[in-house]
Amino acid sequence: MSSPTIPTVRLGEHGPEVGVQGLGCMGMSFAYGPSDAEESRATLDRALELGVTLYDTADAYGDGENERFLSPFFKAHRDEVVIATKFALSIPPDDPARRIIRNDAPYIRQAVEASLERLDVDVIDLYYMHRRDPAVPIEDTVGVMAELVREGKVKQLGLSEVTAGELRAAHAVHPIAAVQSEWSLFSRDIEAQVVPAARELGVALVPYSPLGRGFLTGSFTQAETLTADDYRRTQPRFTGENAAANAALLEVIRAVAKAHEATVGEIALAWVQQQARVHGLPVVPIPGTRRPSRVEENARATTISLTEDELALLEPIADKVAGDRYADMTSTSKGRE
């Protein structure tokens, strides 16, 4: 039986029309413990059936492995999918705690060629700068990205974890279609400056980790219970006393979920989606999952509308969260604001 598809929205003033919810593909190869490739492939297929068209990856996810894994799916559905990938961040496989950030022209040029080769496509639909290297002027970085557009290697430009000032400076060089930053009931720092700047410039917001890396679904309550290589073990809010305090914050979301006969995760996603109306800009969250049943559940969130009273109930949560979203916040927009 075919399912109804999710609504669509334009990704920035000149960007493509995409399903109002995308799919984060990172966990299929990286960060969140072992994956089952068959199940991940079934998840991609199910997402597409549901009208999910924006697929998010990065060269850093598994040192290129995620792009390679997605390539056959993208090639089989080239005209139906919008491929988003990123450059700037590399994680040495022999030192997974280390992050190397580069925004310079020679690096970008080799990164785009490597991504095109791994994805095995002629053009990347949306190419993001993943992290900012403050040593390189943003105008220079976006200048090189704009050359990639002119050369036909990339269609649209995006930036991840930039400040409002960086977004404005970049947008003056070349239109930016989307800013991708963390945004969820637990992580709302971008609302102060980045979101108003994006609205003013006609830039879409693509919230990453909209389910608080799974914590907002209740699927784990302490990162210590996850596998030894799970990235969430490094995030202060998911371990020890912080995690216990934060788990208690889910109670109010559970109450709202009950009223909608929905799951906690659906309410968390519906809240992010509804920020489009609250802030007056296109919002396309990219929840990550490797399971077809969860992609169905997450897509259902696009049908949920929260009342003003419910939004008011959920409002205080973020201020009560214990622990930052990263152990080192220097490469986030908040760290530079």
Ligand X SMILES: NC(=O)c1ccc[n+]([C@@H]2O[C@H](COP(=O)([O-])OP(=O)(O)OC[C@H]3O[C@@H](n4cnc5c(N)ncnc54)[C@H](OP(=O)(O)O)[C@@H]3O)[C@@H](O)[C@H]2O)c1
Residues at the contact surface with ligand X, assessed by CB under 6 A: 24-27, 32, 56, 130, 160-161, 180, 208-214, 217, 219, 265, 286-291, 294, 297-298
Looking at the Cβ atoms of 56 and 189, the one nearer to ligand X is: 56
Cβ proximity of 66 and 25 under 8 Å: yes
Helix 65-76 to helix 37-49 angle (10° resolution) is: 40
CA angle, residues 270, 56, 124, in degrees to nearest 5:
135
Contacts of 229 (CB under 8 A, 6+ apart): 33, 96
CB of 207 to ligand X, least distance (A): 8
Looking at the Cβ atoms of 24 and 175, the one nearer to ligand X is: 24
CA angle, residues 137, 143, 145, in degrees to nearest 5:
110
User: Is 267 in a helix, a strand, or coil?
Assistant: helix
CB of 60 to ligand X, least distance (A): 9
Cβ proximity of 148 and 116 under 8 Å: no
Selected catalytic residue, list 55, 61, 107, 231:
61
CB of 308 to ligand X, least distance (A): 25
Looking at the Cβ atoms of 136 and 312, the one nearer to ligand X is: 136
CB of 23 to ligand X, least distance (A): 8
The Cα 53–Cα 36 span in angstroms is: 22
DSSP-derived secondary structure for 18-59? EESS-EE-GGGTSSSS---HHHHHHHHHHHHHTT--EEE--T
CB of 304 to ligand X, least distance (A): 13
Looking at the Cβ atoms of 32 and 74, the one nearer to ligand X is: 32
DSSP-derived secondary structure for 150-163? HTTSEEEEEEES--
The closest residue (CB) to ligand X is: 24
Looking at the Cβ atoms of 242 and 289, the one nearer to ligand X is: 289
Active site residue 128: no
Just list the catalytic residues. 61
